[in-house]
A and B are shown apart, each in its own frame.
Chain A
Amino acid sequence: MKHYSAFAIAREALRGHTGWERAWRKATPKKKYDVVIVGAGGHGLATAYYLGKNHGIKNVAIIEKGWLGGGNTGRNTTIIRSNYLQDPSAAIYEKARSLYETLSQDLNYNIMFSPRGVLMLAQTEHEARGYKRTAHANALQGVDTEFVSPERVKELCPIIELSGPRYPVLGALWQARAGTARHDAVAWGYARACSDMGMDIIQKCEVTGVRSDNGQVSGVETSQGSIDCDKLCIVVAGHSGHLAEMAGFRLPVESVALQAMVSEPIKPCMDVVVMANTVHGYMSQSDKGEMVIGGGADGYNNYTQRGSFHHIEETVRALIETFPMISRLKMLRQWGGIVDMTGDRSPIISTTPLGNCFINCGWGTGGFKAIPGSGWATAEMVAKGEPGPLAAEFGLNRFREGRFIDESVAAGVAH
């Protein structure tokens, strides 16, 4: 793999950009791999990357039914933060956030991590109390957050309306080291690094069946033929229920559509991310100047990648209350992704009833921020056969044992 650098750009500028290579190889399936990962989203690719980098396992295939990063990884609003309430969440989200800080250097690929800070507005007394509690919990967990006053909110984000018609801003939970990154670049950067380690990324290849032998996984059936493997890791977000059915078990997961939209580009007007969970909407500004807007998820199962129209209406209403200056903005694009919701709004990183078959899912509306930490923890589990400290609490058994990791408050609005 050729190294990307300022020098490389200068060299290619002088020779008409004829020397760039493909970022990753096109691969056709081999007969057998040590590990097969289903789903080339951020979590699948990061799992593969850390399997190679941290555990030396490189005979790996990542199988993707569409194109890599074409699932939720390429559809999200890119918020990265780690201000969750429970200890296991703080550990894995903070691990991810800190890995994001140096990910561009690690991958030699600019993922445009922008630690611009995230404000989560408190707009009811209850919410203010909740965020103060989170700030205290974060202090104990070593995650840097603070509860700030309305005046400070206005300083950080001058376009905000503090005394809106329904819910005045009473303060906010502020995480200065939180921010955004370029979602596609995260997938592409990991893909390039995986391909460079000799792993096969097989696109347009749908897994249609899981084969097993005496309760142990032995391979998968795909639209490009049958592939054997010693270990299988399912990382397919909204499609987890479908893959679990192939592998012979059920999950505590339901799939719904979550939507986002972007406006026409305007001049820079906001250099932080603002989430308004009570009115249900959030917004940031992309480097191109578009306002990136996200809102509610559908209340009922579906796989349509579209979502209900009334959610757009509700989200826009919430944001116009919060930022009156956007009321005349035109929206350019709207889209949906199929998110995998668990009852406690926490993910699943787990062994499964099928031997040597592992699963990473349940990130729901908020897994982009977790990609590096989740890949790190999942790779450790796949390599060692059992979860390490980062993943241990996120096992499937927590539901039957009543050990929920309740993040319904921290998850707040679907982000």
Chain B
Amino acid sequence: MLILSCPYCGVAADETELHPGGEGHLVRHGPGSSDDEFESYLFLRRNPRGVHVERWRHVHGCGKWFHAARDTMTMEVIGTYPAQVSEPPSEILNALGARSA
């Protein structure tokens, strides 16, 4: 069972308590954007073998969206952090850097 800690309420939640929301930090495109930008935003995904930065919602808990960095090969969770940021916070980036070093 995948367990993620909700960065808001601090609960270590089982995956049955959560809802997955797909790749995180997608750059959103709106009116006036090119076809390439729309395609990239709506459909194209990194789908990495390795660390995936993704969105989750604590549906059966506080109800809030948050981010997680998780390894898709090993299921290791590198960390979770709030939704209101456009890139992973430094402690997550450092942890990722330490892994690839």
Contacts and interface: CB of A to CB of B under 8 A. Distances in A.
A255 B49 CA distance: 9
Given A241-B47, A250-B46, A299-B20, 15 more contacts: A241-B45, A251-B44, A299-B19, A300-B20, A301-B48, A301-B52, A301-B54, A302-B73, A303-B72, A304-B72, A310-B15, A343-B43, A399-B39, A399-B43, A400-B35
A308 interface: yes
Contacts of A343: 43
A268 interface: no
B26 to A, nearest CB: 12
Interface size class of B (residues with CB under 8 A): 20 to 34
A254 B49 contact: no
30 contacts: A239-B49, A241-B45, A241-B48, A242-B47, A242-B49, A250-B40, A250-B46, A251-B44, A252-B43, A254-B22, A255-B47, A300-B2, A300-B15, A300-B20, A300-B70, A301-B48, A301-B54, A302-B72, A302-B73, A302-B75, A303-B49, A303-B73, A304-B75, A308-B1, A308-B2, A308-B15, A310-B15, A399-B39, A399-B42, A399-B43
B77 to A, nearest CB: 12
B16 interface: yes
A304 B39 CA distance: 28
A300 B39 CA distance: 21
B73 A304 contact: yes
A399 B2 CA distance: 32
Interface string A377-415: 000000000000000000000011000000000000000
Interface in B3-18: 15-16
A104 to B, nearest CB: 36
Contact of B47 (A253, A299, A304, A310): A253
A311 to B, nearest CB: 10
Contacts of A310: 1, 15-16
Interface of A: 239, 241-242, 250-255, 299-304, 308-310, 343, 399-400
Contacts of B39: 399-400
Contacts of A299: 19-20
A241 B46 contact: yes
A371 to B, nearest CB: 23
A252 B2 contact: no
Contacts, number: 65
Contact of B38 (A251, A254, A309, A400): A400
Identify the 3 closest CB pairs spanning chains A and B, nearest first: A241-B47, A252-B43, A300-B20
With a 10 A CB-CB cut-off, give which of B1, B46, B73 has the most chain A CB atoms.
B46
A301 B15 contact: no
Interface in B37-79: 38-40, 42-49, 52, 54, 70, 72-75
Interface of B: 1-2, 15-16, 19-20, 22-23, 35-36, 38-40, 42-49, 52, 54, 70, 72-75
A400 B39 CA distance: 5
Contacts of B73: 302-304
Contacts of A252: 43-45
Pick the most buried of B1, B46, B52, B72: most chain A CB atoms within 10 A of its CB.
B72
A26 to B, nearest CB: 28
A302 B52 CA distance: 9
Nearest to B15: A308
A235 B44 CA distance: 18
Contacts of A251: 44-45, 47
Given A310-B1, A400-B35, A400-B38, A301 B19 contact: no
Given A308-B15, A310-B15, A400-B38, A301 B43 contact: no
A400 B38 CA distance: 7
B47 A254 contact: yes
Most buried by A among B35, B47, B72: B47
A301 B72 contact: yes
B43 A254 contact: no
Contacts of B54: 300-301
Nearest to B56: A300
Nearest to A241: B47
B75 to A, nearest CB: 6
Contact of A301 (B1, B44, B47): B47
Contacts of A255: 47, 72
A364 to B, nearest CB: 13
A253 B23 CA distance: 12
